[in-house]
Structure 1
């Protein structure tokens, strides 16, 4: 699992060292770009919730009841931590997204003014900007899906919330599934995490440093969540057993009465 985490971090690290940006690299009106959109949507609400539920369902079918309870608590802790950290770091670093910087290079957007607006105002401004892009002499053409994605994703760039979500979920789920002897699902989750990072960069949503930082943070959050729940789970199990025992006694008393 640690080896897989290192591989995930190496890819954006190389891009950062080479000072290479993956945007604009692909045609954003292509079938491939639309596939990347659907991939990145697995980490976007409400589809991200469905992704977590699917992983929990797969864990439920492969883990014992005590293992699944620990699995559920660890994922809950990891997801809450990554969501909170992402919400704090984005406005703190105040970094412009690659697509906004590119639109500024085309004289269609002023990033300083854009990021001083409220989120609702940024969405409206991005919508107007993309309408002007249709009539601009530009090498980039957006598919309807990508255009809608750009209109929706108007927050700051650092860190990549999608990558942070994917890495945290992958690290936690892989740990429990590997303990259960399952190798296929962890492998698929790591491939999904790689795809998530690439999709964010190729679609103009994040720089390589955003993805690299999120990869590192996601791994740390995943490992710390596992450690915390493993340390506290025996006590939680005792509390749960005590509550169930009291419930049985209470139910038995009511039945006798």
Structure 2
């Protein structure tokens, strides 16, 4: 509910997060590195680091169900994100800005294949950075704009962060750990803010992605709790070991 409340408030109050901060600042570049924690290949590293931290903080008998739940939830979010983006075909805020500056025709742009969009937006961003504007881009943010050529809805980064945080926090809280779940919550909030402030997503994208990510996380947690007793017995039979306890 905490994760939902922030983008919901922004949406209900019609508060635009872009362009709110200078995109030619250390603050914007800090947000870029935050958002990169959910971007391939750094997203894989994020999962591995968090799994390593969980391995040290939860009972070893609970780590395997955690690993399985994380794996299923991550595959689910990736598949759903790939399906929903072309279905809704929503332009990104930065593409809308370039369109308003007559540097990009978003109707023609999004009809192109993703590989064909990159040279088009590259030219538009190059022109945007050389012309005088209220919105100035650092080279790092400009390069980020060049590489983000997909649709806006939903926010894959928010989906990734919320789902991962929900699943891992469940197992951590069961083990009496509170610090890492709190940090994961802040990371998820920061991820949504970074996507909006950098011009990648609208508030409704982040809100919907938070709801969907939460539902995916809850569904995967419910599924592992229902299936784990039989799955643990099967694993024990195959490995000739004692069955692991239920999370």
Bigger Rg, structure 1 or 2: 1
User: TM exceeds 0.5?
Assistant: yes
> Normalization by structure 1: what TM-score?
0.92
- Normalised to the residue count of structure 2, the TM-score between the two structures is 0.96
* 2:93 aligned with 1:98: yes
Residue pairs, 1:171-182, within 5 angstroms = 171-182=166-177
Cα deviation per residue 1:158-178 (whole Å; 9 max; x = unaligned)?
000000000000000110000
Deviation at 1:14, TM superposition (A): 1.0
1:63 to 58, 65, 69: 58
Residue 145 (structure 1) aligned to one of 136, 140, 156: 140
Superposition map of 1:1-257 within 5 A: 6-245=1-240
**Structure 1 unmatched ranges of 5 or more:** 1-5, 247-257
Aligned length: 241
Runs of 4+ in 1 over 4 A off after TM superposition: none
* 1:185 shift after superposition: 0.3
* CA offsets 1:48-88 (integer angstroms, 9 cap, x no match): 00111111111111222220011001101110111111110
Cα separation, 2, equivalents of 1:85 and 1:167: 14
Q: Give the CA deviation at 1:132.
A: 1.1
SS in 2 for 1:154: coil
Moved more, 228-237 or 95-104: 228-237
Instruction: State the match for 1:250 in structure 2.
Output: none
The alpha-carbon deviation at position 245 of structure 1 amounts to 2.2
Task: Give deviations 1:128-173, integer Å, cap 9, x for gaps.
Answer: 1111113323211111110111011110000000000000000001
Describe the superposition over 1:71-110 as per-residue Cα deviations: whole angstroms up to 9, x where unpaired: 0011011101111111100000000000000111111111
Q: Counterpart of 1:234 in 2: which secondary structure?
A: helix
